[in-house]
Amino acid sequence: MSVTKHKGQRVGVFIDTQNLYHCAKNLYRARVNFGAIMKDAVAGRTLVRAMAYVVTTESGEERNFLEALGKIGIEIITKDLQIFSGGAKKADWDVGLAIDAVKLAPRLDAVIIVSGDGDFCPLVDYLKTHNGNQVEVISFGKSTSGKLREIADDFLDLSENPRKYLLGYGNTKRGNPAPNNSNGHTSPTSPITV
């Protein structure tokens, strides 16, 4: 895929933090380098807004992580981790991310979705069809929906350079990667920690 990227392009970055966190943890036993991702996502263009969707916990373990994201210019959008009576946990921001992308799309030339979740396929289609946005996807190719990769105007595969996009990669002995399903969706079961 080849897309136009120039200084005057207005971009918005929408980060599915849970998806990226769990993919990095399950595939590489490492943490995500959001600074490196932001640099390559923006690629010298005009950043209008960068938003990371994060689930918070009662313990507040994610406080340092949130501060680190804020320091690199990412706006943090939070909601509490839902814990159901049977102990099941739910932590996803798919609808919130999609709504924000649709609302901001008229002010953007390029929408960058940082997630491999196939649930975003209708969003990508809508943004391209109704707003004429260029839609780029950034995620780990090993856990990204094939359909999402196919319909995006551009795809940055973080798996092609894990040392650049991961913190702690190669510092410990890695076991076998955890399985993922075919649409790239991960089911978070723990909070984000640094």
pLDDT of 29-38, one tens digit each? Answer: 999 999 999 9
pLDDT for the residue numbered 89: 65
CA-wise closest residue to 11 among 94, 84, 114: 114
Q: What is the pTM of this model?
A: 0.82
The CATH superfamily assigned to 10-167 is: 5'-nuclease (3.40.50.1010)
Instruction: Work out the widest C-alpha separation in the chain, in whole angstroms.
Output: 51
The 10s digit of each residue's pLDDT in 173-190 is 444 444 333 333 333 333
3-state secondary structure of 82: strand
In this structure, what token pair is assigned to residue 15? 């980060």
Distance CA 163, CA 161 (A): 6
Q: Which residues contact 23 (CB under 8 A, 6 or more apart)?
A: 116, 139, 140, 142, 143, 180, 184, 186
More confident residue, 70 or 108: 108
pLDDT for the residue numbered 97: 96
Distance CA 21, CA 23 (A): 6
- State the average pLDDT for the chain: 84
How do the domains of the chain map onto residue ranges? 10-167
pLDDT for the residue numbered 78: 85
Of 3-7, 48-52, 86-90, 170-174, least confident by mean pLDDT is: 170-174
